[in-house]
Chain A
Amino acid sequence: MSLAQFNLPDVGEGLTEAEIVSWKVAPGDKVSVNQVICEIETAKSIVELPCPFSGVVEELLAKEGDTVEVGKPIISVQSDGNILVAGPITTSIPIIPESSSTHQAVADVAASVASDENKPNLVGYGSSAHGGTRRKRAAGINSPAVVPASTSSMPIVSPVVPSSVAAAASSTDVIAKPPIRKLAKDLNVDLSKVSATGLAGEITREDVVNAASQASVFRNLTTPAQKTEREERIPVKGVRKAIATAMVQSAFTAPHVSIFVDVDATRTMEYVKRLKASTDFAGVKVTPLLLMAKAMMWAVRRNPTVNSTWTDKEIIVHNYVNFGVAAATPRGLIVPNIKDADRMSLFELAQAIEELAATAREGKTTPEQMKDGTITITNIGVFGVDTGTPILNPGQVAIVALGSIRPKPWVVNNEIVIRQVTTIGATFDHRVVDGDVASRFVQDVASVIEEPALLLD
């Protein structure tokens, strides 16, 4: 008798981790060779794992729902003797003598192997190519009885495919590429509930991201039943408390003034569409928010005082932009910022915004990322709202709200036409920013949204 462990193998090509979906055995169960012990889900597929040895299950080393790195042990089995020792290709089955207490050691080894040279990747082999315990030195047809048909008589046996084949695509309800499925999994999005916008009816990256933000933040998708208790007490702590403190401090120290302007954003929307289609911007998310950000950066250069900080002794005008983006997260509002955003190309800025949003959604934003912002945008349009009067972030003197962009009647040359219209709202600290500067700044932003070509300036 000896204790054998089964380490999570790479069941695809170059996969680095998998989730335990369900266990089919429990401690104490007898298992035989090739008996299915669990179901795992990788970035590519759901796969059943057969047990490499027979015996009695000692322990399950990972829980259902756990994501396990390739090479980590998932089960230990009191083997009834006949254990095959893994060949050198694989790290799958280290044997532990019954007496030794090397449980942890083995796990450590596996971990070191798994993490040593493992880079997450989806395809391509070799991420965990170094097996063993090596380490770097200190360094259709309808009729089933088809008979051969000679070509001279040439009977076309049809249809070639059973008719169900043709229906394959439609009867498989969700069409999405593996990376999109992985993204959905990471963002906790149920793909069957996502409406697909892809050309072939496939779910795109954007669909998933939209669904994720909507589902978790924007909407109560279901109306909950009437609660029985008359009141509910939610402790004020964490993000909520921080938000409250900042809002009060801001609202009661800085005299707020808000102004609004309606603008025809049709050209911006066209520009966004063209950027999306261009290969230069492949792989990065292009949104109206991106152009708003760029527009603000341009307007800041023309009206620098909106990008400053009030202290009682002096006004500090920043000649850099740490661009804050208000992000709704499941835990509440946070405002991380992109450092030196004014020095970024449009592409870099797009990347930075996408990254910032993803980090925020995952709840991984660091305090460092929220410090030292100089001006902020809040995209309330994605909530379907036209505009609002945002409250300043403490230490900043301007915040811009981007409202929803939608087709509305608009007057062009004395005629009413349908244009993509939005409202830009902005709030300023009136101690620093006078009405004229505030108006010029907002007008500048609006003019870029109306004619993005101004960015060429």
Chain B
Amino acid sequence: MLSPEGIFEVPAEYAEYGKYIERLNLDDFLKFYRDMARIRRFDNECTALQRQGQMGLWVQALGQEAAQIGSGYGVGPNDHMFPSYREHGVAITHGIDLMSIIKIMRGVNHGGWNPEETRFHLYAIVLATQVLHATGYAMGVNFDGLVGTGNPDVDQAVITYFGDGATAEGDVSEALLFAATTKAPLVFFCQNNQWAISSPVSSQTVVPLYLRGEGFGVPGIQVDGNDVLACYAVTAKHMDDARNGLGPSLIEALTYRVGAHTTSDDPTKYRPADELEYWQARDPLLRFEKFLRRQGVGDDFFEEVAKAGDELAEQIRAETFAMQNPPLENIFRHVYSDPHPMVAEQQAWLEGYEASFEEGEPS
């Protein structure tokens, strides 16, 4: 829909998606851009903080901003989201405090937020597990009769995010089957960022991934994942369909992991430089900026965004450095809902062990 030159056009055969864009106004566009810029700045700052020893690990979303912000805004206020571990962009469209993501990567918080309140569920590090969780949840929504009532305050859909690599897990196939046979209100959102750590997508699939659901009865579509408007429209439409009882669908967003897999990875060992250049020329922010400028948005706005980024970076640094270690008991707190003798024993041991250290300068 959006060309690299920022020209927006909806081909006639996709008019049903175009309708979703027509409903947006300039403020929505600016919001999209602001959030993409915000998440990119956040990402860069966190990468630096990891390199400075402030986090054990950082997982960059760099390059995937459009796929995440666009689809995040396509998710409705009753819907539930089941992310993997890279969906910082989706997170901010639903009010997740960015600092809570840092806390996870710093190892001072296990989960980060309360999914019951945010509807954005916890990050899943074990690949593809969230896809099954989402399927189960969506089946539950069906059981509760919260689909296709026609009442927008009642109807719910579920969306789950996963990578191209995760599709090779049996979990995704199982989920597709369950979702299809139960007609679950679920959207499978696959960000195909071309790489699963060092494995190229060509080692995960021969057929384009959006066709993966076909055999299970889950229709799929492919979308330019670096086009924030397209990602928004496609997500919004398919979430509507799911909410209206039309069953599951699969979206494949073609994008690119511009950064390393995580800060522990060095992609120069397996990725040719020209591939990176190809995708950088299709940068989602650059493209959307061109679009906005064509709409008459001027330097003022982009300067304001840059300034907000600087403030954000400073705030993130200050708050990260100020983070305290949580009490030890947090590790054990949510293992069981009721007290458990084995957990209590482990906790006592750890407390004893920790007490055997002394703080301060060695003599």
Contacts and interface: CB of A to CB of B under 8 A. Distances in A.
User: Do chains A and B stick together as partners?
Assistant: yes
A326 B276 CA distance: 51
Nearest to B355: A137
A92 B53 CA distance: 6
B282 to A, nearest CB: 5
B19 to A, nearest CB: 13
A140 B260 CA distance: 18
A172 B200 CA distance: 13
Q: Which of B51, B202, B361 has the most C-beta atoms of chain A within 10 angstroms of its own C-beta?
A: B51
Chain B contact patch, size range: 35 or more
A1 to B, nearest CB: 19
B209 A137 contact: no
Contact of B4 (A46, A84, A141, A145): A145
B360 A165 contact: no
A439 interface: no
Contacts of B100: none
Interface stretch (A47-55, A332-340, A369-377, A409-417): A47-55
Contact of A105 (B269, B282, B361): B361
Q: Which of A86, A109, A139, A148 has the most C-beta atoms of chain B within 10 angstroms of its own C-beta?
A: A148
B201 interface: yes
B264 interface: yes
B50 A140 contact: no
B201 A145 contact: no
Contacts of A221: none
A140 B194 CA distance: 7
A93 B325 CA distance: 17
Given A84-B317, A89-B323, A44 B226 contact: no
Chain A contact patch, size range: 35 or more
A133 interface: yes
A140 B230 CA distance: 17
Nearest to A47: B51
Contacts of B2: 145
Interface string B208-232: 1111001000011111101100100
Given A160-B209, A164-B275, A145 B325 contact: no
The A interface, classified by DSSP as helix, strand, loop or mixed, is loop
B278 interface: yes
Contacts of A153: 13
B119 to A, nearest CB: 25
A93 B50 CA distance: 13
Nearest to A158: B208
A86 B106 CA distance: 12
Interface string B87-128: 000000000000000000011100000000000000000000
B201 A165 contact: yes
Given A10-B53, A149-B221, A160-B254, 8 more contacts: A12-B263, A44-B264, A92-B53, A140-B201, A141-B222, A158-B208, A168-B200, A171-B272
The 4 closest A-B pairs by CB, nearest first: A9-B53, A45-B266, A92-B53, A84-B321
22 contacts: A9-B50, A9-B54, A12-B263, A84-B321, A87-B54, A89-B325, A91-B53, A105-B361, A134-B358, A134-B359, A145-B4, A146-B222, A146-B224, A147-B1, A147-B230, A150-B221, A156-B211, A157-B222, A160-B208, A161-B194, A164-B278, A169-B270
